[in-house]
Amino acid sequence: MKGVLLGLLIFAGICEAQEAAVSPETAAAATEEAGTESEGALPREFHGIGLGMNLNDLKAVLEKNGLFDFHGDRDVSYLPSKTENLVESSGRSFVRRAFFQLREDALFIMGYMLNTALVDHYSIYTAFVKKYGDPVSLNPHEAVWENEDTRVSIERPLTVKYIDKKIFNSIIGESKLSGAVELELRREFLDDF
């Protein structure tokens, strides 16, 4: 099986090389055009599951999707904050495990831990580069693509994460505000001595 996949990847690479060899000017124009089309257009959806989706819609998609072994409400956790939920599901085939975090009934983080026996980091990375261009950040732990609304990362171990930046940044802002309030209360308490 791995030999067949490797053969297909090599064949695809040869075909791409032959297409690019047609004319350097044509290849450069196609690359520039592809870069322009994909710039800023990051995915916010994977297999029918999209950022911003509500809990009921998420559960319905997970129940019907063949990539997941979703067991309904028993896979849904209600976090200490009454406005947040966490949904976890084991996966089938390419997805080993998936998690979804919602705030105020809007999905803002999707994470997919992939099965490295079936897909490797390099294949995922090259697919992303081909579709969305070079990452804005790259280090040994993660590659990140991001625009104003969305952050997508490929992390090690092989996990692909999608984050709605507006919701995530509002949570960070609340956390900073809460920390500042706690710091002020601590200072006032110490002043009482």
pLDDT tens-place string over residues 9-19: 333 333 333 33
**How confident is the prediction for the chain on average, in pLDDT?**
75
Show the tokens assigned to 188: 């006032």
pLDDT tens-place string over residues 82-112: 678 888 998 988 999 999 999 888 999 999 9
Higher pLDDT, 73 or 161: 161
